[in-house]
Amino acid sequence: MVDFCFSRPMLERVLRHVELMDRMMERIGVDPALAARIDGGSAWYDARTRCIGCCREAACHAWLAEAGPSAEPPGFCANAPFLRACLAAAAGPAASHVIHMAPVTSQAAPVT
């Protein structure tokens, strides 16, 4: 078995960001089962990886604390294109099939 030797702070960061992404998806109404089918699961994996590496954790916490139910992800979120694709897939006839998404090339809005 491989030991990745995650330090405690890194493990805690991963777990915090997983929770933030889950809360973000719930807040805007993204179905996790549908999200996991986009690109055969690779889009979900990429989104998790982007979230774990994101430096906007404080902005995410603030948005989740202040925002009510929303149909749109916040502009600072690097996963906004993925989340929009999930919402579009849920609204379309292909919601029960594997969905493909264009690669995410845009970055989150700059910090102002």
Instruction: Note down the domain range covering 41.
Output: 8-96
In which band, very low, low, confident or very high, does the pLDDT at 72 lie, cut at 50, 70 and 90? confident
Kindly state whether residue 109 falls inside one of the protein's structural domains: no
For residue 103, being part of any structural domain is answered with no
Inter-residue contact 89 to 31 (CB < 8 Å)? no
Question: If you average pLDDT over residues 106-112, what whole number do you get?
Answer: 52
Q: Is the whole-model pTM more than 0.85? A: no
Q: What is the DSSP string of 69-94?
A: S-SS--TT-TTHHHHHHHHHHHHSGG
The number of helix segments (H) and strand segments (E) in the chain equals: 5, 0
Residue 105 belongs to a domain: no
Is 88 a domain residue?
A: yes
18 CB neighbour count, 10 Å cutoff: 13
What's the total number of domains in the chain? Answer: 1
Of 88, 105, 108, 85, nearest to 39 by C-alpha is 85
At 68 the pLDDT is 78
Tens of pLDDT, residue by residue over 23-62, are: 999 999 999 999 999 999 999 999 999 999 999 999 999 9
Per-residue pLDDT reduced to its tens digit, 7-29: 888 889 999 999 999 999 999 99
Please check whether residue 74 lies inside any domain of the structure: yes
Residue 111 resides in a domain = no
Q: Which of 111, 35, 26 is nearest to 67 (CA)?
A: 26
Q: How is residue 13 written in tokens?
A: 């960061």
